[in-house]
Amino acid sequence: MSAPSSERRLLRPRYIRFAAARLWVIDETQPVAVLLEPTSGQIDRIVSWPEISSPSPALTIASYGNRVWLHYRGTDALACVTVDGVNHAEYLEGTHLLTAGSSGAWCFRPTRTRDDVARTADEPPLLRPQTGPPLLLAHPGGGTTPIDVDGVVVAADFDERSVRLGVEQAPWSRIYRETPTSAGYVLQQSKSWIHVPLDTERTHIGLDDHPRSHADGAWHTSEYADTTYNELHRRKRAIGDGVRWHWGMTGRHGGVLLVKAFRGGSSTPVREIELPGVQASEGTAHGDQLWLLVRSVDGSSSTRHFVRLSTDTAKSEVETAIDDLDITGYCRAVAPEPADHASYVRYCVRRLDGWQFSPLMHDVRAEFIGDWPHGRLHISFTHDDYEGLTLVTRLNLYDEQGQRLDDVTRYVPTELMEQADTRAYPDRSHAVGGVLYL
């Protein structure tokens, strides 16, 4: 039995990139991109790549010229997508996508490092096994080239012009140190960053083939390359034609989204724009314009909106072409309904119905509402501090492809207890008809 045909899937914007003279607005889980004409904001076309598997929706994206490169976490496939769909796909050989330039997509395999502790100060370094070359270059027209690097590559970073390789090499020394396991002489390697231009095409990179800078201390990457750090601290940037855009929240616990535009190497902004009540998750620039995906700070809505900013004005313009856009026909096919679906639903209801997850919660009821795979498990309850309201949390048992998610009965009790004890709920004003959906 397949999914009900009446279920519509609307676009949920998560990523935006600029390629092929168009804005690519990519869905958060489905292999779909809506391409917008940047001047008018109108839809040019919809591109999809359902033939590329994705056990995880986590996606790394790089774009250059007319191509967008896509790598789903947990897979070894790198897809090169154009306005006509998948142009070609390459096997990543255990590497992961880093960035892209005129020579293609740069992919990186880090070398695992651990303390090398010896009994004497002159004992040579241990060999570090490598499963393959640290770099793989995927070419725009198809095919890949493995790239060897002198030294041991343990870190990689990038900017708009180059790939930066963190390399450990000779000369080396050993320093005596008390370690948690035993005392010994710990290896100290020389460290440097090699700056490789993005248009480089070669099979071997020597230590002196490109500009090199000294590196000290522990390896780390910049805030621009570290997406986790970016998300946590809202330190973002995008580069247009001679314009650098930076944005972030003015307060540590919320506040106003402040956007600044700089030209050339100047540290004085040519434009400052404030966007109250929203936070940005993604941004891309072209010419003197910036496009941001934003959503409300107060959590009243999880919907992301698409706004356009310009150096010419302090006003922002909301793009509406992708609002309520139906992409059902471009989504991946849904798996067959599992034969034990009804039994699994009864199991979840039996395990959660009537369970008092916190002393503050009462009248807990669990009920499955809807049909497979889009139906959800509704857990309703009352809370001592929300008198007169019924609180309802809705849980997916399957993902959009009909694959069963992790057993909710194993982690939901803890989540609901923590929510209840910390009152981590939306404001009472969001209740509808005496029901507050979480």
DSSP code string of 54-77: -SS--EEEEEETTEEEEEETT--E
Residue 3 has a pLDDT of 39
Beta bridge partners of 212: 194
Residue 224 has a pLDDT of 46
Residue that is written with structure tokens 């194993």 in the block = 410
Handedness of CA 223, 227, 233, 237 (dihedral sign): positive
What SS3 class is residue 22? strand
Structure tokens at 125: 């370094």
- Written as one letter, the residue type at 402 is G
Residue 336 has a pLDDT of 85
Domain-wise residue ranges, the chain: 49-221, 235-319, 341-437
Structure tokens at 111: 């070398």
Beta bridge partners of 78: 71, 90
Residue 228 has a pLDDT of 43
- Give the number of other CB atoms < 10 A from CB of residue 321: 15
pLDDT, averaged in runs of 10, over the chain (438 residues): 58 92 93 92 93 84 95 91 95 92 92 73 75 88 92 85 86 75 75 90 88 72 47 60 84 76 84 88 90 79 81 84 87 86 93 93 95 92 94 92 88 93 90 92
Residue that is written with structure tokens 């993902």 in the block = 399
Residue 1 has a pLDDT of 29
What SS3 class is residue 374? coil
What does DSSP assign to residue 124?
P
Residue 54 has a pLDDT of 81
Residue that is written with structure tokens 């396991």 in the block = 181
Residue 57 has a pLDDT of 80
d(CA 416, CA 430): 19
What SS3 class is residue 421? helix
